Amino acid sequence: MTNGFTAADVPDQSGRTILVTGANTGLGFEASKVLAERGARVLLGCRSEEKAQLAIASIKTEVPDADLEFVALDQADLASVRRAVDQVQGESRLDVLVNNAGVMMPPREMTADGFESQFGVNHLGTFALTALLLPKLARQDGARVVVTSSIAHRGAKIFFDDISAERSYRAQDRYGQSKLANLLFMYELDRRLRGTESSTIAVGCHPGIADTELARHLPSVVRFAVPLFRPFFNTAAAGAWPTLMASAGPDVDGGDYLGPTKRNETAGPAGAARATSVARDEALAARLWDLSVEMTGIDPEL
């Protein structure tokens, strides 16, 4: 794998259809813009149609002939996930699913299905959407599932004995859990895809520390300090480079994990990233997979 990947390295995407979740802002918006500029048909999976249409209009000011479509998607509601899948099924093809949508350290909230919001949106919503779209992806040779994790997976654990945070809730710990779950899922999905000799691959990525709206729930003292540290962050555009590499990089293999390559993976061009041994624990991943099937009622066709 060649390190140093940026938006300039994204090859022509003409003829490909790519679904990007959380596409109206931040990393998802920046990735969608570049992919559209390279000729892809980009489906923007967003909760708000108004925000999605503003994003589409913004992209079209820079890429007038961009082929963009809004897909209503709220990963905090499995019924919404199913409706989004129904819409995507109507597309002639799907080459890449970019699981980018997420929430970060909100107060304790529950999803429409009764899941703790960070685990429910970041992991279970991703698991359900991916599972339901795998048959569609399988029709395209070399399709990809991209799963966005975070350096927050380091030191995290899965709270199997309190998965809904009924006994205790610390936002930072639950965010770390969801991002560890993303990586465990990516590795397990890729193992299972290989086991069926599918040409679809699963790839993980993380943005390092990027300047996006995702941090709006950080403690006020941290938010006030952000301007001081902003020069050391990735911009949202640079934070999207690992996502773009995972989605369209020419020398990416299943099970690769990609992130920024400078300052301990917090900034810079994309390349190989480090996953913890916990994130690579196959027994833990299998346990999480079974729990995810049980909680969502959705069993991937593998």
**Rounded distance between C-alpha atoms, residue 193 and residue 140, angstroms:** 14
Q: Based on the residue annotation, tell me whether 257 is a catalytic residue of this protein.
A: no
Residue 24: helix, strand or coil by DSSP? coil
Interacting residues of 141 by C-beta distance below 8 A, sequence separation 6+: 199
Burial letters 162-197, b for 16+ CB under 10 A, else e: ebebeeebebebbbbbbbbbbbbbbbbbbbbbeeee
How does strand 96-99 pair with strand 144-148?
parallel
Residue with tokens 């020398």: 251
Take residue 151 and report the two structure tokens written for it: 């350096």
| Residue 145 · residue 201 · CB < 8 Å | yes
| Residue 69 · residue 45 · CB < 8 Å | no
Residues with active-site annotation: 175
